[in-house]
Structure 1
């Protein structure tokens, strides 16, 4: 019985430690989301100007970067709200 109690105490300690690690990840991701939001705003202005002077044709690389950033932000939001345990890039692949 003492072994079961030791195992239970170890699991509680690991859960407690992991919640603080999660908090650290959440803080880092929040900072990264803030930077991403600012960058997305700048890319939006740049794409508009490109379209303005390029007969309404968008820059494909900027469009693709915007898509990638949107996917990353969605993954980050899911982790932040605990809808997923999968952390976004740089902890996992940037799909």
Structure 2
């Protein structure tokens, strides 16, 4: 997955749009990351359309991968996510 800054998005939106047509891309802004993808790719993650070659195999939805809107996140998954984030916050960050 390619990564871009918010400044990249402002300066060359067309090239980032082209990249997002091929695969989801990450946009970084002020410590947050956003994913930009086609609606068709998002629907494939949601399971609304059959899995095809829309997404690279590494990010296709499957038994261990799901896509949820924040407002629709099931409570058990929200708890698990928050627990994982708390654990990650306790782990020192290393750059090798």
What TM-score, normalized to structure 2?
0.28
Question: RCO higher in 1 or 2 (8 Å CA, sep ≥ 6)?
Answer: 1
- The structure having more radius of gyration, on CA atoms, is 1
Bigger share in helix: 1
What TM-score, normalized to structure 1?
0.28
Bigger share in strand: 2
